[in-house]
Amino acid sequence: MNTNAALYNDLTKVIVTREEIAKAVREMGQKITRDYAGKEPVMLCILKGASVFFTDLIREVDLPVTTEFMAISSYGGSTKSSGIVRIIKDLDRDISGKDVLIVEDIVDSGRTLAHLSEVLKTRRANSIEIVTLLDKPARRVVPLQVKYSCFDIPDAFVVGYGLDYDEKYRNLPDIGILSPRIYEGKE
Ligand code: IMP
Ligand code: MG
């Protein structure tokens, strides 16, 4: 078992365990399988944070999905969203007429996904829905319809299972609150 003791020391506590994640991902895959029956959705991974969730989720979807990857930047090394969204890596293929599922690690202010949804709408997808592992509803500053969410979490900065602080902690198998002593004085 991967215990990553040094990384766990930087957490104040674990808030979602690997077992809870596995169960939620399985159920989410089944829900998507039911909702998209007869379709061939494009599952779009938002790099890098959603990568761990994405690779688990697509294997729980029993449909002929295709995969796409986009990288957008909104954060830098800080723990607060800048509101500025920049496309760093775009889609490889045309999505016009396709049913697109944007797979994201966490919805915080909602700015990143609001902006990305607008961009993708101009590319004439047949439908666009959002699948997120985590949602911090208390932090929303722009309205956003999130159809699929695994866990609502409180307003705290979390890491693990793909989520990072300054590119670290993505390999933690559980999700935990990062101890403020790690980022205090660095914003
Ligand atoms: P939003 O644009 O404010 O919704 O920010 C969304 C992005 O901010 C996510 O894709 C994450 O990359 C990052 N983010 C927001 N909250 C956290 C957190 O608690 N831990 C790690 N990354 C976060
Ligand atoms: Mg992200």
What is the DSSP-derived secondary structure letter of residue 187?
Answer: -
Torsion angle defined by CA atoms of residues 94, 134, 179 and 74, in that order, rounded to the nearest 10 degrees: 30
Distance CA 185, CA 183 (A): 6
Q: What is the pLDDT of residues 66-91, one digit of tens each?
A: 999 999 986 555 556 656 678 999 99
157 lines ligand 1 (CB under 6 A): yes
- The Å distance, Cα 108 to ligand 1 centre, comes to 5
107 lines ligand 1 (CB under 6 A): yes
Q: Catalogue the active-site residues.
A: 108
Q: What is the pLDDT of residues 123-141, one digit of tens each?
A: 999 999 999 999 999 999 9
Preceding peptide of 89 cis, ω within 30°: no
Distance CA 130, CA 153 (A): 17
Ligand 1 atom closest to residue 165's alpha carbon, by position in its atom list: 21
pTM exceeds 0.85 for this model? yes
Q: In this structure, which residue's CA is closest to atom 5 in ligand 1?
A: 108
